[in-house]
Structure 1
Amino acid sequence: MKLGLVTDCLADKTLKEAAQICSSLGLEQVELGCGNWSPAPHIDLDALISDTGKRRELTDTLAAHGLSISALNCSGNPLFPGEKGARDRAVMEKTFLLAEQLGLKTVVMMSGLPGGCPGDAMPNWVVSSWPPETQEILDYQWGVAIPAWEKIAEQANRHGVERLALEFHGWQLVYNVETFRRLRSAVGSIVGVNLDPSHLFWMGGDPLAIARELAGCIYHVHIKDVRLEPAAGANTLLDTKGVLEFAARSWNYVTPGSGHGEDWWRRFLAALGDVGYDGPLSIEQEDYTIPTMDALRQGAALMRRILAS
Structure 2
Amino acid sequence: MKLALCTDVLAGLSFPAMLDKVKSYGITGVEMTAGGWSPCPHVNTAALLASVQERDGFRAELARRDMNIVALNCSGNPLAPGELGEKYTHSSYQTLALAGKLGVKKIVMMSGLPGGGPEDRIPNWITSTVSWPDYMPGVIDYQWNAVAIPWWRKFAHEARQQGVEQIALEAFPGQLVYNPSTLLRLRHAVGDIIGINLDPSHLMVMGADPIAAVRKLEGAIFHVHGKDARIERGLAEVDGLLDYQPVTATRTRSWNYVAVGCGKDLQWWKEFFSVLRMSGYDGDVALEMEDLTMSVEAGLQTSIEALNATLSR
Same fold (TM over 0.5): yes
Runs of 5+ unmatched residues, structure 1: none
* Contact 2:9/2:296 (<8 A) preserved: yes
Q: 1:131 aligns with which of 127, 130, 133?
A: 133
Letter of the aligned partner of 2:255 in structure 1? W
Helix, strand or coil at the partner of 1:53: helix
Give the counterpart of 1:281 among 278, 282, 285: 285
**Superposed displacement of residue 308, structure 1:** 7.5
Which stretches of structure 1, 4 residues or more, deviate above 2 A after TM superposition? 62-66, 305-309
Q: Tell me the secondary structure at the aligned position of residue 149 of structure 2.
A: helix
Q: How does 1:41-60 map to 2 (within 5 A)?
A: 41-60=41-60
| TM-score normalised according to structure 2 size | 0.96
1:84-143 Cα shifts (integer Å, max 9, x gaps):
111101111110011011111100011111000111000100011132212111011112
TM-score norm. by structure 1 comes to 0.97
What is the distance in 1 between the residues matched to 2:165 and 2:201?
25
Amino acid at match of 1:132: D
The answer for the alignment partner of 1:82 in structure 2 is 82
Matches of 1:7 and 1:158, distance apart in 2: 27
Question: Which residue of structure 1 lines up, in the alignment, with residue 152 of structure 2?
Answer: 149
**How far 1:186 sits from its partner (Å)?**
0.9
* SS of equivalent to 2:116: coil
Structure 2 match to 1:140? 142
Corresponding residue to 2:256 among 234, 249, 252? 252
Q: Counterpart in 1 of 2:39?
A: 39
- Aligned residues: percent identity? 46
Correspondence for 2:114: 114
Counterpart mapping for 1:234-273 below 5 A: 234-273=238-277
Q: Tell me by how many angstroms 1:36 deviates.
A: 1.6
SS of the residue corresponding to residue 120 of structure 1 reads coil
User: Partner of 1:177 in structure 2?
Assistant: 180
Q: Which moved more, 1:224-233 or 1:258-267?
A: 224-233
3-state secondary structure, aligned to 1:266: helix
| Matched residue, 1:222 | 225
The answer (yes or no) to whether the contact 2:274–2:312 under 8 Å persists in 1 is: no
The SS at the match of 1:104 is coil
User: Which consecutive residues of structure 2, in runs of 5 or more, have no partner in the other structure?
Assistant: none
State the shift of 1:65 in Å: 2.7
The alignment's C-alpha RMSD in Å is 1.2
Aligned residues between the structures: 309
**Secondary structure, aligned partner of 1:165:** strand
1:166 aligns with 2:137: no
